[in-house]
Amino acid sequence: MAYSEKLIEHYENPKNVGALDKEDPEVGTGLVGAPACGDVMRLQIKVKDGIIEDAKFKTFGCGSAIASSSLATEWLKGKTVDEAETIKNSMIAEELNLPPVKIHCSVLAEDAIKSAIADFRSKQSARRTLASEPEAQGATPRAAE
């Protein structure tokens, strides 16, 4: 399969590979996909004063999946959470010139972004209500809904 130069660059030199502390209240974590489907993405954002100051990912998947998550973390950094929510899979697919059979990789990246934001928001609202109703976070990891 012939891939675009941008895709190959992101695949060979992926940006922002790594992990953020998922217990940190300022960090939102999204884990989407399934091993049996051949791709799993974990995307994390660290938000300070409403701005995404850092983003990290780890991806099990094909070259397009790795490139899509690398690009997503690049785009997230510096955006507000609301701006981040407007990132669409079609934008990722267009930027990397994904072939039709690989569009699902960009869909997964969008899901990962949404899932990370949802996790961050639920942590924030949990923190606000924490004083009245302490809640323990489940120890088992879970994929995004």
Active site residues: 37, 105
Is residue 39 involved in binding another protein (CB under 8 A)? Answer: yes
Binding mask 40-59 for another protein (x = CB under 8 A): xxx---------------xx
Cα 85 to chain centroid, rounded? 11
The alpha carbon torsion through 127, 128, 131, 135 (nearest 10 deg) reads -40
Cα 141 to chain centroid, rounded? 16
| Count of residues that bind another protein according to CB under 8 A | 35
- Looking only at the bridges linking them, the beta strands covering 27-34 and 51-60 are unpaired
Q: Which two tokens stand for residue 87?
A: 């990132």
- Report, in Å, the least distance between residue 82 CB and another protein: 24
Q: Which is nearer to another protein, 100 or 134 (CB)?
A: 100
User: Could you tell me which residues come within 8 angstroms of residue 61 by beta carbon, excluding any fewer than 6 positions away?
Assistant: 33, 38, 39, 40, 41, 105, 108
Considering only 10, 46, 104, 114, the residue that binds another protein (CB under 8 A) is 104
Considering only 10, 11, 55, 114, the residue that binds another protein (CB under 8 A) is 11
Considering only 4, 17, 20, 79, the residue that binds another protein (CB under 8 A) is 17
Is residue 89 involved in binding another protein (CB under 8 A)? Answer: no
